[in-house]
Amino acid sequence: MTARSELRGDELIAKRHLPAGPERVWVAFTSPAGIAAFWGGSHAVVPPESVTVDLRPGGEFALDTRAPDGATRRLRFVYVSVAAPYELVFDEPFTGLRTTVKIRPVGGGTDLTVHQRRLPPELRTAQAADGLASILDALAVHLRDHTATPGRTP
């Protein structure tokens, strides 16, 4: 299964079933190593040393994305709500983009929904929708390839 994404005006919604429980998905979304492993999707690389996380409402997380042409972009977000291990809400302060990540246990895995609101005009594109879907697909690969072991962050 691959991620599905839908663009509706200034909203983008992507969904994906993941081969791991909610706790492992949560760790992937909230730890520097987890974020670096999947955030770039198929279109960028995230250097692990660039990721910082202050996991609390009002705290920030930030990362660098490096495109295939070498262009690097710093992304910064501020947590609005942190409800482990089921929901994260964070804003991109420059554009006002709000992202809600919902993590729901289903059978032996997790259904993940990423809902972005207040998309700036430059992100209201099929390319942005495909990019978000590729990030969720990269997350699925990361979770599948890095099985949980005691004392190890997936």
Task: Take residue 136 and report the two structure tokens written for it.
Answer: 């969720």
CA R_g for the chain = 14
Say whether domain 4-145 belongs to CATH 3.30.930.10.
no
pLDDT tens-digit readout, 85-124 = 999 999 999 999 999 999 999 988 999 999 999 999 999 9
pLDDT class for 54, splitting at 50, 70, 90?
very high
Q: For residue 61, which phi and psi values (nearest 5 degrees)?
A: -130, 150
pTM greater than 0.85 (yes/no): yes
Tokens 């059978």 belong to: 107
Distance of alpha carbon 54 from its chain centroid, rounded?
15
**Residue 153 scores a pLDDT above 90:** no
Q: How far apart are CA 111 and CA 109, in angstroms?
A: 7
Judge whether residue 52 has pLDDT over 90: yes
Amino acid identity, residue 93?
A: P
Find the angle CA(129)-CA(102)-CA(22) to the nearest 5 degrees.
Answer: 120
**For the chain, domain boundaries:** 4-145
Q: pLDDT value at position 1? A: 61
Alpha-carbon torsion, ordered 53, 41, 144, 59, to 10 deg: 10
